[in-house]
Structure 1
Amino acid sequence: MPKRILQGTVTSDANAQTVTVSVERRFTHPVLKKTIRKSKKYRAHDPENTFKKGDVIRIQECAPVSKSKRWEVVDRV
Structure 2
Amino acid sequence: MSEETAETTERPARKVREGTVVSNKMDKTAVVAVVSRVPHAKYNKMILQTTKLHAHDETNDVNIGDKVRLMETRPLSKLKRWRITDVLERAK
Normalising by the smaller structure, the TM-score range is: over 0.9
State which of 55, 61, 64 in structure 2 corresponds to 1:53: 64
Query: Which ranges of 4 or more aligned residues in structure 1 deviate by more than 2 Å?
Result: 27-31
Asked which structure has the greater RCO (Cα within 8 Å, sep 6+), the reply is: 1
State which of 20, 23, 45 in structure 2 corresponds to 1:12: 23
| Matched letter for residue 55 of structure 2 | A
Structure 1 regions of 5+ residues with no counterpart? none
The two structures, once aligned, show a CA RMSD in angstroms of 1.0
Query: Which protein is bigger by CA-based radius of gyration?
Result: 2
Distance 1:65 1:28 in 2: 32
Distance 2:25 2:45 in 1: 36
Give the secondary structure class of the aligned counterpart of 2:54: strand
Distance 2:62 2:28 in 1: 10
Structure 1 residue 70 corresponds to structure 2 residue 85: no
Q: How many residues align?
A: 77
Distance 1:45 1:29 in 2: 32
Per the normalisation by structure 2, the TM-score is 0.79
Per the normalisation by structure 1, the TM-score is 0.93
Query: Identity of paired residues, percent?
Result: 35
Structure (1 or 2) with the greater helix fraction: 2
Structure 2 regions of 5+ residues with no counterpart? 1-11
Structure (1 or 2) with the greater strand fraction: 1
